[in-house]
Structure 1
Amino acid sequence: MRGSLYLIPVPLGPGKCEAVLPPAVLEQVRQLRHFVVEHARTARAFLKAVGMPVPIQELSLSELNEHTRKEALETLLAPLLQGLDLGLLSEAGCPAVADPGAELVALAQARSIRVIPMIGPSSLLLALMASGLDGQRFAFHGYLPAKEEERRQAIKQLENESRKLRQTQLCIETPYRNEALFEALLQHGQPSTRLCLATDLTLPTESIRTMSLGDWRRQPPPDFERRPTVFLLLA
């Protein structure tokens, strides 16, 4: 018998877990004793918040992040191969989406291990739902290049694809570079292209606003420095 790999969403920011996670998800988390996490410190805080019935120090937490070597992935599956269930946690939102946990899920699938996605907040879908942009055809591109010329070319390509396919384009940025990406979109995009900024989703400071780039240029700049934001555009 092999264990199951549970993909466990976590809140997108500070706040009560019960506000964004169903009771069944919280109950399943409380039953697990083995976890793969992006960073142990924040994972411990989440597990404490959900009310684990055993001391946090008795849980097994293995890290999977940008520093993890590919050859170490096999060892992360060890509990599953021993018949024990394993929970996968991201830093925020849904694991394995724009997240290093995707590599572990791929390996679990290759080993015919049962993978169980659980219900919770996805910033990408929440942003798309509230944007008013096309929800039938959309694509997520992760992070755009940080170098100015490469970023300019990427924006032009996204806009061209959006116009050709009538497809909403989604991307994210490291929060401290939000303003740089926003300014690049204003500079290189067409005035008629619609842009949605979805910031601090599910939090008390949530802000979701969609306007044409032409209208954005006439507005005071948004206050979203160092605040997690999803960028969506439709040409």
Structure 2
Amino acid sequence: MPGILYLLPNTLGPVDAAQTDPLAQIIPSQVQRAISGLEYFIAENAKTTRAFLKLVSVSHPLTKPLQEIRISELNVNTEAAALPALLAPLLAGCDAGLISEAGVPAVADPGANLVRLAHERGIPVKPLVGPSSLLLAVMASGLNGQSFAFNGYLPTDADQRAKRIKALEDRSRQEKQTQLFIETPYRNAALLDALIANCHGSTLMCVATDLTLASESIKTQTAAKWKEELVAGKMPEFHKKPTVFLLLAN
């Protein structure tokens, strides 16, 4: 009988490791307990995953010493041909945890192909509760939570990005659908500038930064209002910080 592939949530950024239970406000206790009982993990980065497991172990002792836990890497450079080997321990009966660098796996994350292969191989898949920056941003934006679409990264080429933004705004207007996207953190200011330059002044825009962290910032207002603030030199404090951008045209 195959093992279970647990989809494990991670934090969305650094936490205070000095706390009695540093993950208490982010990862439910029962989820931490499930994580602590696993001996095999599939992760984007073995080093940062070990750091996360160390945080878990503060209040939920690991089944094995940290150095004895097996961690295989799965990232954007992993070839499809390598995926079956990652699932081999599960087919042999071992439970495993798929974990992202931040938030939940298989959403804006390279783990989706592995999850699909697990289904094809008859391996049970169990998602566990934890923070998703995308859903948290939708919740906090005040925009349409009944219909929304995540579009990943927009083009870096200025002309292509402008066309994409206008297309997303048109789609949002026609379908009354909230559009979400992200950017490499050091390009956040450039993306906000592009949104303001290409969106109608009445389009609502939300900028949600460092969700669940002490530096969290969430703000929704019209593109025209964002433009006023930027002209006045009031740029959001989001440089090199994970940020979700949302828009809803009316």
Please confirm whether the aligned pair reaches a TM-score higher than 0.5, indicating the same fold: yes
In structure 2, runs of 5+ residues without a counterpart are 16-21
Shift of 1:110: 1.1
Q: What residue is the counterpart of 1:222 in the other structure? A: 236
Question: Does the alignment pair 1:234 with 2:227?
Answer: no
Runs of 4+ aligned residues of structure 1 deviating over 2 Å after TM superposition are none
Taking structure 2 as the reference length, the TM-score comes to 0.93
How large is the Cα RMSD of the aligned pairs?
0.7
3-state SS, counterpart of residue 156 of structure 2: coil
Q: What residue is the counterpart of 1:28 in the other structure? A: 34
Shift of 1:221: 1.6
Shift of 1:161: 0.2
Q: What residue is the counterpart of 1:101 in the other structure? A: 111
- Separation of aligned partners in 2, 1:190 and 1:180: 18
Maintained 8 Å contact 2:145/2:178? yes
- Separation of aligned partners in 2, 1:171 and 1:35: 28
Q: What residue is the counterpart of 2:161 in the other structure? A: 151
Structure 1, residues 9-58: CA drift from partner, whole Å, max 9, x if none?
01101112221111110000011000000011110100111002422110
The residue identity in structure 2 corresponding to 1:231 is F
State how 1:7-86 maps to structure 2 within 5 Å: 7-15=7-15, 16-51=22-57, 52-86=62-96
Q: What residue is the counterpart of 1:129 in the other structure? A: 139
- Separation of aligned partners in 2, 1:134 and 1:64: 34
3-state SS, counterpart of residue 77 of structure 1: helix
- Separation of aligned partners in 2, 1:7 and 1:92: 12
Percent identity, please.
55
Maintained 8 Å contact 1:10/1:17? no
Shift of 1:69: 1.2
Taking structure 1 as the reference length, the TM-score comes to 0.99
3-state SS, counterpart of residue 225 of structure 1: coil
In structure 1, runs of 5+ residues without a counterpart are none
- Separation of aligned partners in 2, 1:30 and 1:138: 34
3-state SS, counterpart of residue 190 of structure 2: helix
- Separation of aligned partners in 1, 2:76 and 2:203: 34
Maintained 8 Å contact 2:38/2:63? no
- Separation of aligned partners in 1, 2:236 and 2:93: 50
Question: Does the alignment pair 1:187 with 2:194?
Answer: no
